[in-house]
């Protein structure tokens, strides 16, 4: 988890600072807007429903997805839907979660597997949402 979420605390602190600053700024550059949008999604990721704990390996997966920009195209109100669907898909593809759980390590090989899985999942999720519109 430390390998995956190492900069999460710093990123969230920067988000909070930018959020406060942006209330007084009328014109923000593209990078600042992007960082604010990613911060909104990461805050949503960190929210857990009451009496619904999320396993360690699933936390690693969703934090990886959020910090690597996979949630950037998802509206903040849809982050929990994405998260739930991702967890369901990962449950069907047990190898990735099992590797993270058993080794308690997030190796480059595991990252590559998870990245590939989330790439495919995100494409499917976005296209499915567009079909519903």
The confidence score (pLDDT) of residue 95 equals: 92
pLDDT band at 4 (very low <50, low <70, confident <90, very high): low
Cβ partners under 8 Å of residue 47, min gap 6: 80
Residue 123 has pLDDT above 70, yes or no: yes
pLDDT band at 2 (very low <50, low <70, confident <90, very high): low
- The residue ranking higher by pLDDT, 124 or 8, is 124
Domain total of the chain: 1
Q: At 94, list the tokens.
A: 């047990």
pLDDT band at 29 (very low <50, low <70, confident <90, very high): confident
CB atoms within 10 A of CB 103: 10
**Residue pointed to by tokens 């190492």:** 6
What are the contacts of 33-36 at 24+ separation with CB within 8 A? 34/72
CATH of the domain at 37: 1.20.150.20
Domain span including residue 84: 2-132
């Amino acid at each position: 988890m430390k390998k995956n979420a190492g900069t999460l605390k710093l990123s969230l602190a920067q988000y909070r600072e930018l959020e406060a600053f942006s209330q007084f700024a009328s014109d923000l550059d593209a990078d600042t807007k992007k960082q604010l949008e990613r911060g909104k999604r990461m805050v949503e990721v960190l929210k857990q429903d009451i009496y619904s704990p999320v396993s360690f390996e699933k936390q690693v997966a969703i934090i990886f997805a959020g910090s690597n920009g996979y949630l950037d195209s998802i509206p903040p109100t849809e982050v929990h839907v994405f998260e739930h669907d991702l967890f369901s898909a990962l449950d069907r593809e047990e190898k990735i979660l099992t590797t993270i759980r058993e080794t308690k390590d997030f190796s480059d090989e595991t990252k590559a597997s998870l990245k590939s899985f989330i790439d495919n999942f995100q494409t499917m999720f976005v296209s499915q949402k567009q079909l519903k519109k």
